[in-house]
Structure 1
Amino acid sequence: MPPHELSAIANRIRRRDLQAVFEAGAGHIGGEMSVIDLLTVLYFHTMSIDPADPHRDRLVLSKGHTALALYITLSEKGFLPKEEIATFLKHGSRLNGHPNRVKVPGVETNTGPLGHGLPVGVGMAKAAKLDGASWRTFVIVGDGEMQEGSNWEAIMAAAQFGLDNLTLIIDHNRLQQGARLAETNDLAPLAPKLEAFGWAVDDIDGHDIEQICKALSPETITAGRPKCVVANTNKGQGISFMTDNVAWHHKVPNEDQYKQAMAELEGAA
């Protein structure tokens, strides 16, 4: 699928995400907007994801609080009825604030507590190696989440095991709940740290569809080394007053803000 079509899908997912957060009165819209381009490329360009195929690729959305973006992406791929997105966070809905693999088709593992997704992904990738399987494992984490020590233990293990079938994608939007990353525990620059642990690293614009496609391509894999893509993104991407604004970690737009945001996204379609 060409980049302009992927961009159109990403914009459609952003509009539906905005609507769902507004209608539900809750959500994590800032981080959802930053991760949507990455999810779009993974599901519509890079991954083999037929759930009936044991050789399918796996995605672990470790920053599970952005589950809504994943649900909408899955609905665009036919895993869920599109109309079910309207039930997000409602009583009895299976579309909770964090993804549940038992309830939601296409979800590979439950996430929410930060720092768990990458260790699970390392286990998946190691299992594939033991089975001689060719499928790949992708893990998306937030940059604030990289403060968790469990991630760095997993990073060491992945390098030790030579898991070149594992790709870690860091949604590097420079913000976390309530503060900037630099004000909390300044991990940047991330790329040289991963390289020091023996990983192959690409540092890209996480909203440039062509750059994302190239970085996730199997042609860029280095034999015997796990891959990390540091995706430089913007929290609230696509909406002027949300972009790079820490207040929009889980703030909900009022009616006027909703109309403005939707007009901006529709204008970019």
Structure 2
Amino acid sequence: MGTAARFDATGRLIVAGSAVVGLGALCYYGLGMSNEIGAIEKAVVWPQYVKDRIRSTYLYFAGSIGLTALSAVAVSRSPALMSLMMRGSWLAIGATFAAMIGAGMLVRSIPYDQSPGAKHLAWMLHAGVMGAVVAPLTLLGGPLLIRAAWYTAGIVGGLSTVAMCAPSEKFLNMGAPLGIGLGLVLVSSIGSSFLPPTSAFGAGLYSIAIYGGLVLFGLFLLYDTQKVIKRAETTPMYGMVKYDPINACMGIYTDTLNIFIRVAMMLAGGGGSRKK
């Protein structure tokens, strides 16, 4: 077994172990075996405005996913745009990150209640940019991407259920470790773009970016789901700062997109190894 294959096998074992832990947590919290109260129990006594906030947040989340998919399909049909998105130079990668960060900062900076038109335009722009970023995945083929979407839906649904059933602040203390992990995965993702995956270092970075990233963004989803609930519960109804469902959905949207990308890459790698 080569170095790349060993890293791949190790990464898959880590993901499988994380899945077992997640399934155990789902059973533990979902069956009410924890003595602490979870968000799902609190939902019974939530005021209507808290329920409306969470509902609108997930509607915008669904809208973001839909707009991203439409954008990805549109970009995939333009050879010029696909060529632009698939360039592996430092300049292209830097421009891509700048576009993603800039669009995200723009949509977060516009007040939802004061400038709803501009807010929604910025939200659609952000989803469009993210769709352009993931457009190269369309080269993997429709059937594989549909499988990846179903797997992602299962992962997101399961982890969201864990976050809802767990004690309401169980995962909100993970911010600092998650930030460190994000830095590691980000560096690995950039490094793996320039190093051949057949080399020992390149294979290691690729495994961290794909398998480590999948576990990391799963944890981020737990964190961001409870963050949405906490923000919906604690933002005053008539306070100076209004609840912003678009800003609230940005975290779970980004987590879901990153999970989907890594699931698709795992399926593509698995398909490739079986064909060999």
Q: TM-score, normalised by structure 2?
A: 0.27
- Higher-strand-fraction structure: 1
Q: TM-score, normalising length from structure 1?
A: 0.28
| Bigger relative CO (Cα 8 Å, ≥ 6 apart) | 2
* Structure with the greater alpha carbon radius of gyration: 2
